[in-house]
Structure 1
Amino acid sequence: MTPVSRRTFCRMAAGTVSAGMLPPGLLAAGAGEGRKTEPRARSCVFIFLFGGPSHIDLWDMKPQAPVEIRGDFRPVDTTVPGMSLCEHLPLLARQTHRLSLVRSMTHRMPVHGPACSEIYSGRPYFGAPVTDQARPEDWPSVASLVHRFGQQSGSMPHSVVLPWYTQFVGQDRRIAGQTGARMGEEFNPFLIQGDLTDPDFHVDGLALPDEIPVARFQQRWQLRQRMEPFGLAASQQTQRTRIAESHFTAAAELVQRTEAAGVLDLSREPATVRDHYGRSRFGQSLLLARRLVEAEVSLVTVNWDDDHRDDKVSPHWDTHDGNFPKLKDRLCPPFDRGLAAFLADLDERGLLETTLVVALGEFGRTPRIGLVTQNGMTEKTGRDHWPHAFTCLVAGGGTAGGQVYGATTGNGGYVADNPVTPADLAATVFAHLGLPAEARYFDHFLQRQQPLSTGRVIDLA
């Protein structure tokens, strides 16, 4: 074997994986502490609809309410008697026997960033809701907690995020609540970032250069491990060096797992399957999520993305103006096609029973069209932010389909029965994945131990 210095080796190994693709601590972090409970699901796919979809126009419709509340859309029958969805979700209407509608989600935060943080982390936002951008003292995300405490049975990471960290265009930091934050950035989930509709899409760095075969890399990796005792003592390491070290270890371990590149290669899917999911960013993200579920990834977070990031008033599901045409023409078609195909595909492959699927945004929209609650740019054709009542879609993973959990008042404005908080949703995800209820992590911001969740588990069996 050709002699190589530690510095040269580090440069070589670091060059094999794109730093933007591998978060600190992807695989270096050990499995979580605590006694695991019996999981009801092997995987969870957490679909986040950034912007806050209008519950009252989509899946909690009020056809008997005045027009300024019920809006322009009609409900349609589904495969479940008595359960209706919006007329612009015809494909999903055929899948409702696999779905539960939790119509009683609620919290108090009307600002995007803090509200996103509450959904991502299952914790009430702390401090003044004055920023949409992440801070080191944010609560750790459900994704990062699963990365740390989850049960890994395959060779892939515990937790994966795609196709981006949610972020407002023009801001230099991601939305709050998506990483390890106060638990430690070394527990960040694995980020797969990019436009999955691009025919040339690939994840950089999951294959070694042609001139470096795996066996040679493994020899160098073993040499590096033998040199470890001569590195910094644990007492001399800063948080930054620990994060960098875990980042490097993650990179080196992943490039040796040749199957990872295959899992992430959408070109291996038949064109008919890709078309069935829809050639949208959302549809292709769900298709990749299915492949990750097959590879036994514990948690896959799919963040909504589309071609309207630059809309300064109504990006994504944030319909402050033109609520109805945007839902009908821009948002519902890719959502309907993608999610319906995903649920049917999971079921046909025998994966739905072991895969918990959750889909929601950070809040709902105002019951009355044109009512201004948060954004003064809300027009008479739009709906503003409304955290007091909204809907979460749940399927698979040991839950019973074809049911409605909770209810809202006649105008869809407030929860009337069985309120569910973001903490309850997080606790439910943890329970279905079998995370130890007694597990604790160290909070570097408050300098004390914290439980995984403060919520109660929702019974959807």
Structure 2
Amino acid sequence: MLSLFTPPLTGKSRLPRRELLRIGGLSLLGLSAGQLAKLRAEDATASGKQPRAKACIFLFLFGGPSQIDLWDMKPQAGPEIRGEFNPVATNVPGIQICEHLPLLAKQMDKLCLLRSMSHRMNVHGPACSEIFTGRPYFGPPTTDQATREDWPSLSSLTTRFGKSNRGLPPSVVLPWYLQFTGQAKKIAGQTAGRMGESHSAMLVQGDLGRADFELAGLRLPEDVPWERTVNRRDLLDSIQANQSASKAFGNGLTMLDENRRRAWSLLEHRAGEVLDLQREKPETREKYGQTTVGQSLLMARRLVEAGVSLVTVNWQDETHIDGVNTCWDTHQENFPKLKTLLCPLFDKAFSAFLEDLHQRGLLETTLVVAVGEFGRTPRLGQFEQSSNTRKTGRDHWPHAFTALLAGGGVRGGQVYGSTNENGGYVKEKPVSPADLSATILHHLGIDPQQTWPDEFQNLPRKLSEGKAVRDLG
């Protein structure tokens, strides 16, 4: 079962659950107060046919894929560098990728291989934070866990400064926040952090690959007719209009009124239908693959098609596995894991996703980005950060890695940037996480140079300190 998650109201704004239920059943339409607070959709103002708004789907390949074994191969290097895999031709002359990505090779005319991503952080959590936020981690890399001081994520910046369409929120994260086993909190940099949690993106949480997947809270119970629901809304409107009631409940009632308005916006714009994968043809779902990443990408397509600006899709972490670790952290048995597990999962889902976007005309306005927090060491068994690294694996490597880009005006069938002979360092056109974040914001029509107030340091902060990459078209 899937749920919409958000922290409960705290401090003075918090109302006792009993009081909320007493004044009119504020578990409105099956949504809890916490769920209501997450539904940040603004009223849709457009009507009729309009040009499709620009959007972005950001697939985060948690763990750090091996660029040198997948999409920046070095077949002329020694065996300790080039590894076991061979490159194969794609449908674009002169561009080769890994032999275990045959479906993706047929979609290369839609893709840009940005081979010059680079930063300095080789620890998972802080590196994830840098990709999610476009800023270097604010402290020493001694923790992977989120704090109130985190830089705001790109998804949160879009929630605050982006535009909502058709009653849907500007930004959605699915199918979960990333987290490490044994830690109480999610990995840093995934929410609004120091910008304020009210700006965090809507989280659609659950394993979308499960056959019994269903979104709770955006569908009326069968025994509750629409007329009764409207009566509940009218009752709450009357309570809100009563000045004495408003004074008695203070800011909490005002907060609930806003949350209720947002919930109604979602319901009136049929968000439940958008989030219902059962409405897809079985053959479409099968083409994406009945896996978490496959169905998450399908959901992302539905959300963008409906008007969401930014959808972040997180790959599986170590807390969401069933006996086999499916993240890209290949410290050991790098080649068997890529060949038998990771490449087939990614190849099927991502290729079907690109083809589907193309056939629906969505690639014209939708920027697709797939990237991990870093790459892997150019030399097998090279120790850099983790003692888990063995001769059969590759350690963390932030100095050069690849991002896959498609759509949104990016010219397909090209390679942007390059690395040296062993794939370890950027040689041409370096792109930082800050530059990538600025590129995405610019595509979404959000000025990266505008500011938000940093309450921790009492300073105005630019949305991004990077420069948008302008020569991708």
Query: Do these two structures clear the TM 0.5 threshold for a shared fold by scoring above it?
Result: yes
The answer for unaligned runs of 5 or more in structure 1 is 32-38
Name the SS for the 1:101 alignment partner.
strand
| Contact 1:205-1:255 at 8 Å conserved across structures | no
**CA distance in 2 between partners of 1:400 and 1:252 (Å):** 39
Whether 1:257 aligns to 2:271 is: no
| Contact 1:277-1:284 at 8 Å conserved across structures | yes
Deviations along 1:401-439, one digit per CA (max 9) or x if unpaired, are 111111111111111111100000000000001013443
Q: Which of 103, 119, 124 does residue 91 from structure 1 map onto?
A: 103
| Contact 1:150-1:435 at 8 Å conserved across structures | yes
Identify the residue that residue 50 of structure 1 maps to in structure 2: 62
Name the SS for the 2:205 alignment partner.
coil
Residue 293 (structure 1) shift = 1.3
C-alpha spacing 1:244/1:383, structure 2 compared with 1 (3 Å): farther
Matching residue's letter, 1:341: A
Trace 1:112-127 onto structure 2 (pairs within 5 A).
112-127=124-139
| Contact 2:56-2:366 at 8 Å conserved across structures | yes
Q: Give TM-score, length-normalised by structure 1.
A: 0.90
Whether 1:370 aligns to 2:381 is: yes
Name the SS for the 2:112 alignment partner.
strand
**CA distance in 1 between partners of 2:117 and 2:269 (Å):** 42
After the TM superposition, list the runs of 4 or more consecutive aligned residues in structure 1 that deviate by more than 6 angstroms. 28-31, 311-314
Whether 1:412 aligns to 2:426 is: no
Identity %: 55
**CA distance in 2 between partners of 1:243 and 1:68 (Å):** 63
Residue 23 (structure 1) shift = 7.6
Matching residue's letter, 1:333: P
Residue 12 (structure 1) shift = 3.7
Name the SS for the 1:352 alignment partner.
coil
Whether 1:16 aligns to 2:30 is: yes
Residue 134 (structure 1) shift = 0.6
Identify the residue that residue 129 of structure 1 maps to in structure 2: 141
Deviations along 1:10-41, one digit per CA (max 9) or x if unpaired, are 65425712567x4844316799xxxxxxx996
**CA distance in 2 between partners of 1:123 and 1:232 (Å):** 42
C-alpha spacing 1:137/1:15, structure 2 compared with 1 (3 Å): farther
Trace 1:47-446 onto structure 2 (pairs within 5 A).
47-228=59-240, 229-230=243-244, 245=256, 248-249=259-260, 252-253=263-264, 256-257=267-268, 259-305=270-316, 309=320, 316-446=327-457
Q: Which of 442, 464, 468 does residue 453 from structure 1 map onto?
A: 464
- CA RMSD of the aligned region, Å? 2.9
Identify the residue that residue 39 of structure 2 maps to in structure 1: 26
Residue 155 (structure 1) shift = 2.0
Deviations along 1:81-105, one digit per CA (max 9) or x if unpaired, are 1111100000000111100011000
C-alpha spacing 1:313/1:410, structure 2 compared with 1 (3 Å): farther
**CA distance in 2 between partners of 1:152 and 1:26 (Å):** 11
**CA distance in 1 between partners of 2:409 and 2:390 (Å):** 42
Residue 145 (structure 1) shift = 0.7
Residue 196 (structure 1) shift = 1.2
Residue 255 (structure 1) shift = 5.7
Name the SS for the 2:461 alignment partner.
strand
| Contact 2:88-2:98 at 8 Å conserved across structures | yes
| Contact 2:40-2:202 at 8 Å conserved across structures | no
Identify the residue that residue 48 of structure 2 maps to in structure 1: none
| Contact 1:25-1:187 at 8 Å conserved across structures | no
**CA distance in 1 between partners of 2:68 and 2:138 (Å):** 28
Between 22-31 and 165-174, the greater mean CA deviation after superposition: 22-31
Between 259-268 and 303-312, the greater mean CA deviation after superposition: 303-312
**CA distance in 2 between partners of 1:213 and 1:274 (Å):** 32
The answer for unaligned runs of 5 or more in structure 2 is 1-17, 45-50
Residue 261 (structure 1) shift = 1.1
**CA distance in 2 between partners of 1:317 and 1:372 (Å):** 17
| Contact 1:101-1:394 at 8 Å conserved across structures | yes
How many residue pairs match? The answer is 447
Deviations along 1:429-461, one digit per CA (max 9) or x if unpaired, are 000010134432222222222111111011211
